[in-house]
Amino acid sequence: MVRWWGAVANIIMLRFYKTGFAGALLLLIFALGAVEAKKRLDQILVVEASVENFRAEPNGAKIGTLLEGVEIEQIGSEGQWVRFRVEGWIWGPSLEGFEDPEDQDRAGVTIEPISPLQDNVPRLKKLINEKFGIFYGVELNEDLGQLRLRFRVRDLEVEEWRRRILAVQREVADLLADAVDFQEIQVETNRPDGSGEVGSYLVLTTLSDLGRYGDDPETWRVHTRFSLDGGENWGAME
């Protein structure tokens, strides 16, 4: 995913236009866009033009603009058109139907607070995208006390893939140690050579074992469970 930290007004300006649906405001998370970009990390691209349009489809209606320096994650293409994933923030009062939290509070409306895990998602994305691969998502199974982190890797030797998984587990555990309650961390990737679906390869380690053996990759491997078929079978990895 694309990384967005801090005030998004300094990074991206989205200009949304009314469509043929009366008064509808179109907010695209997945959009087709024409962007002049360069490779940054795997499928992360960076807009090079000072201002670039993005459209609902190739040669379709313009629905917004991206400014120079904005990072996007490519999720598809059609000829010279790139389909991308974008995430950011927009000023709530500019949206039709927006309800001010302060007004809701005065009216006695209960607003669910953001969970500690969701609050840390931007930091997790930044960590994975900058150092390890392409962030795909994270979730917490509270019943099992298990944190599940998904990301894509590309063109790694198996040994390097194992070292990367251990590094991810250690850094994620350190990042979330004081915020999220979990006892196991499961990392899900595609195959080390870059093929396959994310979730094909699974690695599961308890935090206690990670704390005891995380400094020694060989010992860590002995105390870690691996699945190379999406969780159908588990065991040690030679």
- The tens digit of pLDDT for each residue in 77-127 reads 888 888 887 767 788 888 787 777 666 555 565 656 789 999 999 999 999
- Angle at which helices 158-176 and 116-131 cross, to 10°: 150
Rounded CA separation 127/221 (Å): 23
Question: For 227, what's the count of Cα atoms within 13 Å in the CB-facing half-sphere?
Answer: 16
Q: What pLDDT, in 10s, does the model give residues 178-216?
A: 999 999 999 999 999 999 999 999 999 999 999 999 999
Rounded CA separation 49/66 (Å): 9
Give me the long-range contacts of 74-83 (CB less than 8 A, separation at least 24). 74/43, 74/44, 74/45, 75/30, 75/43, 78/32, 80/34, 81/32, 81/33, 81/34, 82/32, 82/33, 82/34, 82/35, 82/37, 82/45, 83/30, 83/31, 83/32, 83/33
Is the pLDDT at 12 greater than 60, yes or no? no
Per-residue model confidence (pLDDT) at position 148: 97
> Is pTM beyond 0.75 here?
no
Neighbours of 76 (CB within 10 A): 12
Question: Which residues, including other chains, have CB under 8 Å from residue 66's CB and lie 6 or more apart?
Answer: 12, 33, 35, 47, 51, 52, 53, 54, 72, 86
Rounded CA separation 49/68 (Å): 5
Parallel, antiparallel or unpaired: strands 81-85 and 71-78: antiparallel
Per the structure block, which two tokens stand in for 110?
Answer: 């209960």
Per-residue model confidence (pLDDT) at position 22: 38
Sheet of 146-152: strand order equals: 134-141, 146-152, 184-189, 201-206, 225-227
Q: What pLDDT, in 10s, does the model give residues 46-57?
A: 888 888 888 878
Is the pLDDT at 38 greater than 50, yes or no? no
Tell me the DSSP string of 164-210: HHHHHHHHHHHHHTTT---SEEEEEE--TTS-S-TTSEEEEEEHHHH
Give the pLDDT mean for 1-11: 40
